[in-house]
Structure 1
Amino acid sequence: MSIFADIQATFSRRDNALNQLLVINVLVFVVLLVVEAILTFTGAGVAYEVLMRQLALPSDLPGLLRHPWTLLTYAFTHQQFLHILFNMLNLYWFGMLVREYLGDRRLVSIYILGALAGALLFVLSYNLLPRLQVHLGIPMVGASAAVTAAIVAAATLLPDYTFSLFLIGPVRIKYIAAAVVLISIAGINGANPGGQIAHLGGALLGFVYIRQLQRGRDLGRPVVAAGEWISALLHGRPRLRVSHRSPQAAPAGSKRGPLAQPAQEEIDRILEKISRSGYESLSKEEKQKLFKASQQ
């Protein structure tokens, strides 16, 4: 199977959001790498700078008003290999956890909302903080704010989940997330203060998103609705006709909402399966149900 066929297969599935986010970031990086090489070789390097202005997030308000789409495009744009490498590795590791327990749509919601929160804090800091106003106009690229949102969301969701780190050993992800936040805070006094501030915006969004979800409020609903509208527009699908019906009464003791609780009998069956075959024998749906039950 060719590379193009693999890419097409990645986007043909609806339950493949993590891989789709990874592929989009990598494709943008590769295309920019090739375009930069061609334009530089042909002596048209200025055209590459014009292209980057269409993708990078400007820190000045006039520039943002001229390029409002950069509030999102910056989060899929990288120019350095190590930058995209570490971002994609973190997105894969922590995004897998979010996707496994909350599903594809909420992973995308966290990524998009994290990017927007990081962009908002980045622009506000350059326009309100005197120390940064002298550098007003510096643009930002990279998925770091969105990835930080996924890291903190995963740590808020499953604080005691353990990763085995090279040369360190098993570490609970709440400590990894805390280290990421502390490094960003320390980096505000460094060479890239705006980027570190954007990381903090993503971290705050990841924490608030999970806390609100646990209280029954899904902040990502507008993102999901916008995604469905764009998908229907691209694929020419007819809009669903909504019919209003009287809601049926829910069974006694049941809960509705983003984290509705499964029945106790079902949880007992899952726990029995864990004792018999181990946690890894659970399906994705069973792991989600077990997590939901832990929120009681």
Structure 2
Amino acid sequence: MGGIFDDLKNAFRKQNNQVVQMILIFSIVFVLHWLLTFSFKFLPDHKIYSDFLNKNFFLSTSIVDFLRHPWTILIFPFTNSNIIELIFNSLALFWFGHILTDFLGGRKVLLVFVSGAIAGAVLYTISAYGLQIIRPFKPAPYLFGASAGIYAVLFAAVGLLPLYEMMFFRFFIKLKHIAIAFLIISLLVDYRTGILHLGAASFGYFYVKFLRTGLNFTQPLESLILKMEGMGKQKPDKKISRTYSKSPVGEYQRSQIYDDQNYYPDQEEIDYLLDKINKSGGYESLTITEKDRLFRASQKKD
């Protein structure tokens, strides 16, 4: 048992490891809820206790119940309805989350995941009450947020790397086509769940688009996390000289002088590297130096 707890501690202490940490939280929340639900079955009036448990774990679609249990807004993004959903959501987050981590860092993946799930819940609630005016609509009593958060991460990756490709059964398929296909299937299978996923996906996509312009929707929450982690350390001064020249095709050439090993690219250079990836056919189009700079940028986020 000691070895397991040591592994868990190391996973949560490791920097830029938020994707693995979220998967572990998925499992912990699921097992804890299952154990409590199983234990309550041996108590008189066990349905009352089970309902109490659900109201404190999952996000209620009743505004009144939510106001009584506001903490569920931060718990429900890590909830799964069954073991199959837990497995598939964990795999999806591992695949798509690491794509985004390489470019934005683990902390932003966590923020996109949680904020996207919340955005999906907001759209779902608004739609539930709005659709009742047009046609009978019975919303689900509780929302499970893990799949919504994954859609936010997936579409954030699409917004950042629209030409990124993944291999499926020996075929290369663009990430954006995979994302759109999953979203359409979700809407067709159950349009109510699809609305939840649509809200999360929209947040993830536009979050990255606005981030490229310098607008960070999650900046207040990110700043709070940084303070809580005690990471507000001063960085040593560095001297950087840059020269820019624009070519006829609109590309930028730049030279930089490193005075120490603590150099980190700024947002302008990150945008340049990401544009090069999108326009030149992928990550392998970068030089060794540019790959190193992009890696440094991802480390800076944490």
TM bucket normalised to smaller: 0.7 to 0.9
> What secondary structure sits across from 1:219 in the alignment?
coil
Q: Residues 262 and 158 of structure 1: is their aligned pair in 2 closer, same or farther, counting only changes over 3 Å?
A: closer
Q: Which residue of structure 2 aligns with residue 204 of structure 1?
A: 202
Where does the alignment leave 5 or more consecutive residues of structure 2 unmatched? 245-253, 255-263, 275-283
TM-score, length-normalised on structure 1?
0.76
Where does the alignment leave 5 or more consecutive residues of structure 1 unmatched? 242-247, 268-277
Deviation of 1:119 after TM superposition, in Å, equals 1.3
Q: Which residue of structure 2 aligns with residue 139 of structure 1?
A: 142
Q: Tell me, in whole angstroms, the C-alpha distance in 1 between the residues paired with 2:185 and 2:270.
A: 39
Deviation of 1:39 after TM superposition, in Å, equals 2.2
Aligned residues: 265
Q: Which residue of structure 1 aligns with residue 8 of structure 2?
A: 7
Q: Which residue of structure 1 aligns with residue 119 of structure 2?
A: 117
Q: Deviations over 1:189-211 (max 9, x none)?
A: x3xx4322110011101110111
Q: Deviations over 1:160-194 (max 9, x none)?
A: 2221224x63211111011122123323xx3xx43
Q: Which residue of structure 2 aligns with residue 127 of structure 1?
A: 129
**Contact 2:123-2:195 within 8 A present in 1 as well:** yes
Q: Tell me, in whole angstroms, the C-alpha distance in 1 between the residues paired with 2:271 and 2:112.
A: 28
> What secondary structure sits across from 1:120 in the alignment?
helix
Q: Which residue of structure 1 aligns with residue 221 of structure 2?
A: 223
Deviation of 1:150 after TM superposition, in Å, equals 0.6
Q: Deviations over 1:194-232 (max 9, x none)?
A: 322110011101110111122222222122123234445
Runs of 4+ in 1 over 4 A off after TM superposition: 131-134, 248-254, 278-285, 289-292
Structure 1 residues 27-106: aligned runs within 5 Å? 27-42=28-43, 44-106=46-108
Deviation of 1:72 after TM superposition, in Å, equals 2.3
Amino acid at match of 1:286: D
Q: Residues 178 and 222 of structure 1: is their aligned pair in 2 closer, same or farther, counting only changes over 3 Å?
A: same
Q: Which residue of structure 1 aligns with residue 168 of structure 2?
A: 165
Is the counterpart of residue 261 in structure 1 residue 269 in structure 2? yes
Q: Tell me, in whole angstroms, the C-alpha distance in 2 between the residues paired with 1:257 and 1:194.
A: 43
> What secondary structure sits across from 1:181 in the alignment?
helix
Q: Which residue of structure 2 aligns with residue 107 of structure 1?
A: 109
Amino acid at match of 2:203: L
Q: Residues 7 and 281 of structure 1: is their aligned pair in 2 closer, same or farther, counting only changes over 3 Å?
A: farther
Amino acid at match of 2:104: L
Q: Residues 102 and 132 of structure 1: is their aligned pair in 2 closer, same or farther, counting only changes over 3 Å?
A: farther
Q: Tell me, in whole angstroms, the C-alpha distance in 1 between the residues paired with 2:130 and 2:210.
A: 29
Q: Tell me, in whole angstroms, the C-alpha distance in 1 between the residues paired with 2:104 and 2:180.
A: 22
Q: Tell me, in whole angstroms, the C-alpha distance in 1 between the residues paired with 2:296 and 2:222.
A: 24
Q: Deviations over 1:247-295 (max 9, x none)?
A: x9996759x997321699x99xxxxxxxxxx679969962727999xxx
**Contact 2:112-2:149 within 8 A present in 1 as well:** yes
Note the aligned Cα RMSD (angstroms).
3.7
Q: Residues 257 and 110 of structure 1: is their aligned pair in 2 closer, same or farther, counting only changes over 3 Å?
A: farther
Identity %: 26
Is the counterpart of residue 150 in structure 1 residue 153 in structure 2? yes
Is the strand fraction higher in 1 or 2?
Answer: 2
Q: Residues 205 and 282 of structure 1: is their aligned pair in 2 closer, same or farther, counting only changes over 3 Å?
A: farther
Q: Which residue of structure 2 aligns with residue 270 of structure 1?
A: none
